[in-house]
Amino acid sequence: MARVMIVDDALFMRQLLTKIFVDEGYEVCVEAGTARDAVEKYKEFKPDVVTMDIVMPMMEDLDGIGAVKEILKFDPRAKVVVVSVMGEQSLVVEAIKAGAKDFVVKPVRPARLLDVVKGLLR
Amino acid sequence: MQDSYRELFLSESQEYLSNISNRLVKLESNPSDPESLNEIFRCVHTLKGMSATMGYERLTQLSHHMEDLLEELRGQKRKVTPEIMDVLFASVDVLSELVEDIKTNRESEINISAYISELEQIIHSDIPSASKAEAAFPRGKTSPVHPESIEFSEEELKAIRYAKSKGFNIFKINIRLVSDCLMKESRAFLIITNLKKIGEILKAVPPVEELEKGFFDFSFSVVLITREAQAVIRQEMMMISEVEGVYVNPVEVSAPVGPAANTPAHAYIKKIQSLRIPIERLDKIMNLIGELAIARIRLSQIVANIKEESLEEASVLLSSLISALQDEIMQTRLLPVAYILDTFPRMVRDMAKKEEKRIDLEIVGSDIELDRVILDEIGDPLVHLIRNSIDHGIESPQERKAVGKPPAGKLQILVSRQKGQISIEISDDGRGVEFDAVKNIALRKGLITQEEADGLDDKKVLDLISLPGFSTSEKITDISGRGVGLDAVKSKIESIGGRLDFTTNLGKGSTFILSLPFTLAIIKAMLVRVGKEVFAVPLINIRETIKVEKHDIKVLQNLEVIRVREEIIPVLRLDKEFVITISPEDKNRNALGEINSNQEDGRVPIVIVEFGKHSLGLVVSQVIGEQDIVVKPLTSLIKRTRGIAGATILGDGKVALILDIMSLK
């Protein structure tokens, strides 16, 4: 089964997303709580899919968008799904420009998210 | 081509319409229910799109106007008022009529302009809320995109011709997003970004800048110049989430200016999960499988004679595959009861309104499945029983208050599975049936004797009130009370092998209980032997089987009868009825070596069957046992034979006739 990496600064969201994936039989191989951590963990674990909270605070010179860009620089074929709150159109657009493959809007609907991931893994 | 789409259109649009109706009923009782509003909006929107694609002008127009109004309600720019509900209900009715006209190929005479102007009046009337600025949201720019409506300028045509000459493909791509798509501007941006990766966008309707601001309905069109094939583009688009449908059509420019590509080579649809199959085709498959089962039995008999192991193995495998196939096909005949119950909320609402009553309808178990043939048959009876409850059962709000009940009556439809049967209960908490009233009318009309009247119970009351011409209702209403109906309901239910029961509780309400077989294709039956012939008696008709001494069969006024616990039951000898000679050998035929012949041991097996309130004892040679049988209809030549409902193939390949108890007298 596909391996998923979950990036979100909120533990609650990480747990919620993990449950969505695990219930569906995916393996959540690693989680990251900061943008910098996300980039490093990606390089280490090379997951099949990444869900990336786009509205993460800037830490160690890197925010959500920065993480998307770094991950795609490292692996142009990375499958990054952006998770955004309503109204952050410009961030989503920037992420897509950087190479994010798809996005979902919070509050995340499990079926929608799984749909996205399934589509990317096909 | 057009025809097969038409069928699809008809069946789908009917589903949408019934969904809209039901949601409207919900919305009416809870005007701030966003879920219903969204669902109604989604259905109307989809219906509009479908109608436009099929070129049904009036459907498109009316649903478009409805959509405008719904959009305002959804955006909370306008509140749901009773007037708005009425207009919406009326509009849905007109939509249904328009669809009906298409279905019957009738030249439609419905004029929709009155409805449109009503809708427009509401839309153009002042918005009472303060959010007017928001209402100025550029809806004008969200013109719905008709896939055929893209027109090209001279330059664009030139570009297309040039690209074609260089071997590029030009596609018109119509993309529809799911109607609950959030941040659709970003979604559009993602789609356009992905399209740009595989080609060049020549044109978009609405234009790309507007798409990326979210100024579009839920669908838009893009003309793409690309090296990729149609299928690749479709696949790419399908990978993006919240894309509900993708149409990719090659653009033809050989035609002079005007709408391009009028013969769409459809490359389309995301994720087909179900197919619609004409019922006749299913029936044919069902029949072929029946034939297959017979051939299988013959084959296995031949195999048994040859005694070749490998052949036997193959034959056993074949047999189990055929049974599995048979089971699967059986499943395809089943439909959830919701199929008919879904229209009921609206119907109940209308009836209640007319009768000036208030009714809360509750439907439980509508996901339970039934043979579609049975479903077809029980629709009318159910409607009738419901009318009956609304008209006679449930009291007016004033009356209810006076007796301390809540003003709104409760009507419950409860579907459940019970030992090989489906039961549908329709209960109300109304006034119930007054035994005395029934008794008096029955006595006055000379339907019962005083003695019978004293021993009245629920079952007998049902028999009485279902007599033609019997009515306890003083007034005759539009819906019931004309004294026809209950008898029709009863005989209809019995004709498909079901049963109607009734219980009532004065002042507390009444319940009608329909017991129905799962399917008409396979029934539980008791196999009996008469001479050499085997007959199947539907189990639902059987009250009991008994053995009596030969001399217990008495003759009363030229009729043979038996006495079973104080009850005199007429007797029918099946050998005489079907002119079967029982030879002495037949009497001794006995595969199991049990006593089975009626003369030898002096005891006669009798199957007592019931229909309506009559009982009848069938004299047979032997009761073989219970079995599930596959009903095969008879061909027209012998279809009308009295007493025979059909035939079935037994395990040994022999044919057994199925008795039609109703017509045995």
- Chain B within 8 Å of A122 (Cβ-Cβ)? yes
Q: What is the pLDDT of residue A69?
A: 92
Structural domain includes residue B458: yes
> Do residue B408 and residue B445 come from a single domain?
yes
- Chain B within 8 Å of A102 (Cβ-Cβ)? yes
- Beta carbons within 8 Å of B210's beta carbon, 6+ residues apart: B141, B216
* CB spacing of B186 vs A116 below 8 angstroms: no
- Chain A within 8 Å of B186 (Cβ-Cβ)? yes
Phi-psi region of B553 (alpha: psi -120 to 50; beta: other; left: phi over 0): beta
Minimal CA separation from B208 to chain A, in Å: 14
Element (H, E) at B334: strand B334-336
Nearest 10 degrees: Cα torsion B466, B467, B472, B473: 80
Q: Is the pLDDT of residue B482 over 60?
A: no
Top mean-pLDDT range of A99-103, B44-48, B328-332: A99-103
Which residues from B are below 8 Å from A119, CB to CB? 238-241
Q: What is the pLDDT of residue B608?
A: 93
Q: What is the pLDDT of residue A42?
A: 95
Domains identified in chain A and CATH numbers: 3-121 (3.40.50.2300)
Binned at pLDDT 50, 70 and 90, residue B480 comes out as very low
pLDDT average, residue stretch A50-58: 87
Q: Is the pLDDT of residue B135 over 70?
A: no
Minimal CA separation from A76 to chain B, in Å: 14
The chain A residue lying nearest B196, using CA atoms, is A97
Pairing status of strand B509-517 against strand B522-530: unpaired
Minimal CA separation from B487 to chain A, in Å: 50
Closest among B99, B87, B90, B105 to B14, alpha carbons compared: B99
* CB spacing of B193 vs A97 below 8 angstroms: yes
- Chain A within 8 Å of B182 (Cβ-Cβ)? yes
The SS3 assignment for B277 reads: coil
The model carries a pTM of 0.47
- Chain B within 8 Å of A21 (Cβ-Cβ)? no
Which residues from A are below 8 Å from B238, CB to CB? 119
Q: Is the pLDDT of residue B557 over 80?
A: yes
Phi, psi (5° rounding) for residue B8? -60, -45
pLDDT average, residue stretch B348-369: 88
Q: Is the pLDDT of residue B261 over 50?
A: no
Which residues from B are below 8 Å from A122, CB to CB? 239
Q: Is the pLDDT of residue A80 over 80?
A: yes
Binned at pLDDT 50, 70 and 90, residue B268 comes out as very low
Q: Which of B177, B179, B182, B193 to mutate to test the interface with A (most CBs of A within 10 A)?
A: B182
CATH of the domain at B652: 2.40.50.180
Structural domain includes residue B257: no
Structural domain includes residue B16: yes
Please identify which residue in the block is written with the tokens 């419950």. Answer: B412
> Do residue B488 and residue B528 come from a single domain?
no
Residue type, B203: K
Q: What is the pLDDT of residue B496?
A: 79
Q: What is the pLDDT of residue B639?
A: 60
Structure tokens at B498: 């079901």
- Chain A within 8 Å of B339 (Cβ-Cβ)? no
Binned at pLDDT 50, 70 and 90, residue B328 comes out as confident
Structural domain includes residue B266: no
CB-nearest partner of B241 from A86, A97, A116: A116
* CB spacing of B241 vs A112 below 8 angstroms: yes
> Do residue B13 and residue B123 come from a single domain?
yes
> Do residue B512 and residue B527 come from a single domain?
no
> Do residue B540 and residue B638 come from a single domain?
yes
Minimal CA separation from B141 to chain A, in Å: 20
Q: What is the pLDDT of residue A67?
A: 92
- Chain A within 8 Å of B183 (Cβ-Cβ)? yes
Q: What is the pLDDT of residue B142?
A: 36
Minimal CA separation from B45 to chain A, in Å: 21
CATH of the domain at B34: 1.20.120.160
Structural domain includes residue B260: no
Determine the Cα angle at B211 with ends B122 and B9, to 5°. 60
> Do residue B316 and residue B390 come from a single domain?
no
Q: Is the pLDDT of residue B390 over 80?
A: yes
Structural domain includes residue B142: no
Which residues from B are below 8 Å from A115, CB to CB? 241
Q: Is the pLDDT of residue B592 over 60?
A: no
Q: Write down the mean pLDDT value for chain B.
A: 79
Structural domain includes residue B264: no
- Chain A within 8 Å of B239 (Cβ-Cβ)? yes
Q: What is the pLDDT of residue B498?
A: 81
Structural domain includes residue B341: no
| pLDDT over 90, % of chain B | 10
Q: What is the pLDDT of residue B132?
A: 39
- Chain B within 8 Å of A96 (Cβ-Cβ)? yes
Estimate the share of chain B in helix, then strand, then coil, as percent rounded to the nearest 5.
45, 25, 30
* CB spacing of B183 vs A89 below 8 angstroms: yes
Rounded Cα distance, B44 and B92, in Å: 9
CB-nearest partner of B182 from A86, A93, A120: A86
Which residues on adjacent β-strands are paired with residue B409? B359
Binned at pLDDT 50, 70 and 90, residue B273 comes out as low
Q: What is the pLDDT of residue B479?
A: 38
Q: Write down the mean pLDDT value for chain A.
A: 90
Q: Which of B35, B186, B211 to mutate to test the interface with A (most CBs of A within 10 A)?
A: B186
Q: Is the pLDDT of residue B214 over 90?
A: no
Whether the CB-CB separation of B509 and B428 falls below 8 Å is answered with: yes
Write out pLDDT tens, residues B483-492. 446 777 887 8
> Do residue B307 and residue B425 come from a single domain?
no
> Do residue B371 and residue B497 come from a single domain?
yes
What does the DSSP assignment read for B426-475? EEE-S----HHHHHHHHHHTTSS-HHHHHT--HHHHHHHHTSTT----SS
Phi-psi region of B56 (alpha: psi -120 to 50; beta: other; left: phi over 0): beta
- Chain A within 8 Å of B196 (Cβ-Cβ)? no
Within 10 A of B625 (CB to CB), how many other CB atoms are there? 9
DSSP conformation class of B580: -
Rounded Cα distance, B607 and B623, in Å: 8
Q: Is the pLDDT of residue B291 over 60?
A: yes
Q: What is the pLDDT of residue B369?
A: 85
CB-nearest partner of A105 from B182, B239, B240: B182
Binned at pLDDT 50, 70 and 90, residue B481 comes out as very low
Count chain A–chain B contacts defined by CB atoms under 8 A: 40
> Do residue B544 and residue B656 come from a single domain?
yes
Which residues from A are below 8 Å from B212, CB to CB? 93
> Do residue B378 and residue B412 come from a single domain?
yes
Q: How many DSSP H helices and E strands does chain A contain?
A: 5, 5
Boundary residue ending a domain (B137, B164, B196): B137
CATH of the domain at B225: 3.30.70.1110
Minimal CA separation from A96 to chain B, in Å: 6
Whether the CB-CB separation of B43 and B20 falls below 8 Å is answered with: yes
Which residues from A are below 8 Å from B182, CB to CB? 86, 105
Minimal CA separation from A13 to chain B, in Å: 19
Which residues from B are below 8 Å from A84, CB to CB? 183, 186
Q: Is the pLDDT of residue B71 over 70?
A: yes
Q: Which domain holds residue B425?
A: 351-517
Q: What is the pLDDT of residue B388?
A: 84
Minimal CA separation from B138 to chain A, in Å: 19
Q: What is the pLDDT of residue A21?
A: 93
Which residues from A are below 8 Å from B184, CB to CB? none
Write out pLDDT tens, residues B150-183. 778 888 888 888 888 888 888 889 898 888 888 8
Binned at pLDDT 50, 70 and 90, residue B637 comes out as low
Binned at pLDDT 50, 70 and 90, residue B607 comes out as very high
When divided into structural domains, chain B yields a total of 5
CB-nearest partner of A96 from B190, B239, B242: B190
Q: Is the pLDDT of residue B146 over 60?
A: no
CATH of the domain at B361: 3.30.565.10
Q: Is the pLDDT of residue B89 over 50?
A: yes
Q: What is the pLDDT of residue B612?
A: 64
Please give the ipTM for the structure prediction: 0.88
pLDDT average, residue stretch A31-58: 91
The SS3 assignment for A27 reads: strand
Which residues from B are below 8 Å from A89, CB to CB? 183, 185-186
> Do residue B526 and residue B656 come from a single domain?
yes
Q: Is the pLDDT of residue A39 over 70?
A: yes
Q: Is the pLDDT of residue B232 over 80?
A: yes
Q: Which of A80, A86, A90, A112 to mutate to test the interface with B (most CBs of B within 10 A)?
A: A112
What does the DSSP assignment read for B235-265? HHHHTSTTEEEEEEEEPP-SS-SSS--SS--
Give me the sheet containing A80-85, strands edge to edge: A27-32, A3-7, A49-53, A80-85, A102-106
* CB spacing of A116 vs B190 below 8 angstroms: no
Choice between B419 and A75, residue whose per-residue pLDDT is larger:
A75
> Do residue B46 and residue B33 come from a single domain?
yes
Rounded Cα distance, B408 and B569, in Å: 47
Write out pLDDT tens, residues B506-555. 888 889 999 887 777 677 789 999 988 899 998 888 889 999 888 888 88
Q: What is the pLDDT of residue B474?
A: 46
Q: Is the pLDDT of residue B622 over 60?
A: yes
